[in-house]
Every structure is written in C-alpha cells, then in structure tokens.
Amino acid sequence: MRSGVNCIFGLKSVSKYSIDGVTPDEPETPETPETPANAYINETFASSLGAFTTQEVIGNFAWKHEVYNGKGYAKVSGYDGSSQNAESWLISPAIDFSKESAAYIVFDYVINKGDASAAAANHKLLITNNYTGDVATTEWTEVNYGAVNNGSWTFQNTGKIALPASMMGQSAVVFAFKYMSTTANSSTWEIKNVVVSSGTGTTPETPE
C-alpha cells in the first residue's frame, strides 16, 4: 500500500492516496535497463529486503518491504498520526571491490510528500569501507545521486552514479540509504531495482 497525507507535515498509511476525496490512478513505472552480467548487487526488493539490513537511530520507523499492485519495493516513512523525528538506515551487504578501478550504482526511487526542498538533505546515499556494524560509529562518505522530490508516485531512475574512487581496491565496501524526518516535515521514500556493477558512471551536480 502507498501511504500519505495532503500536506508537508507527513504521511499516513491508507489503502491509497486520497486527495480532496479523489484517489489518483497508480502511475506507470518506467522500465529499468537490463542488469549487467557482472553486477555485484542486483536487488529488486520484489519479494523482500534481501540481504539488506536495517537500523533505526531515532524513532521506530524501520525500512520495510511493501507491495503495491503486485510490485515490491523498500519503503520508509516518518509519519505516525503526525510527522515524527526519525533516522532510519537501509544497509547493503559488503562488496569486494579489491579488483575494481571503477564502479557505479543505479536504482529506481520515489520521494514524495513533505518538503521538496529537503530531498537531498533527508534522503542520502552513503558509502564506507570500514563499516563497524553500527551506522553511528561508522565513517561515511556521501554519494550524490541527484535526489528529487517531484510530488509524484512515479519511480525515477538515477542513471549510473559513479562510486568514489577511494572505495575502489577495497575488499569490504558497504553503502546505505539514510532517511531522516522531523516533527515539522516527513516524506515517503521508496526504492527498488538497486544494481551495483563495475564500470564508469557519472556524478550529478550538487543541488543548490
């Protein structure tokens, strides 16, 4: 089920979004490019969170697997009757980049509801080569993927986002999706079709 409310202050689980009594049709999801044969990670989240793990630093708003119209994805929201303070992480299994000189990540995502100007600040992709098992004690590097909240439930594709050169040649690289919300602002973040593969990618411009 999708979830939401009509304002910046957050979202609520309902069977579908209903705005002013009108329930919009579910938009079509764009096709995702074919997965390369040499992918290190190919997680659709179609049936579960797979080998990904979760941690909640603030609040109790864990990433979870959800299915809507027969399509699965990972989802997080910081709304529980009203917007709440939350910090929730979705963490990848370790990747061995010891023989790589370049790699990229690509995924489909939705950021909707809440303050669109906070998309980059509250929906982060982070990476590390020294994961301690605790997100709070791990040193992370942010990877800009061009986060956009366009007020739609249509999944967007990031394109191939280059992973930092500092992670190449490392044997235990972990990346994570970090979600944050406050009592003044919460959104919904949905992710699927996460692929990590060797090869070159691009680096989006940092939002102003």
How far CA 81 is from CA of 14, 26, 127, 132, 183, in Å, comes to 11, 24, 32, 34, 11
Q: Which range is least confidently modeled, 15-19, 85-89, 187-191?
A: 15-19
Between 137 and 17, residue with greater pLDDT: 137
Taking the whole predicted model, whether its pTM rises above 0.75 is answered as yes
Q: Which range is least confidently modeled, 8-22, 40-54, 96-110, 150-164?
A: 8-22
Per-residue pLDDT band at 208 (split at 50, 70, 90): low
Q: How far apart are CA 90 and CA 74, in angstroms?
A: 9
Note whether 179 and 122 are within 8 A (CB): yes
Residue 25: is its pLDDT beyond 70?
no
β-bridge partners, 181: 86
**How many CA atoms does the CB half-sphere of 67 hold within 13 Å?**
6
Residue 65: is its pLDDT beyond 60?
yes
Residue 23: is its pLDDT beyond 50?
no
Give me the pLDDT at residue 207, please. Answer: 55
Q: How far apart are CA 111 and CA 73, in angstroms?
A: 13
> Per-residue pLDDT tens for 151-173?
999 999 999 999 999 999 999 99
Q: Which range is least confidently modeled, 4-13, 41-50, 72-81?
A: 4-13
Per-residue pLDDT band at 35 (split at 50, 70, 90): low
67 contact partners, CB below 8 Å, separation of at least 6:
73
Per-residue pLDDT band at 38 (split at 50, 70, 90): confident
Q: How far apart are CA 130 and CA 146, in angstroms?
A: 25
Q: 3-state class of 165 per DSSP?
A: helix
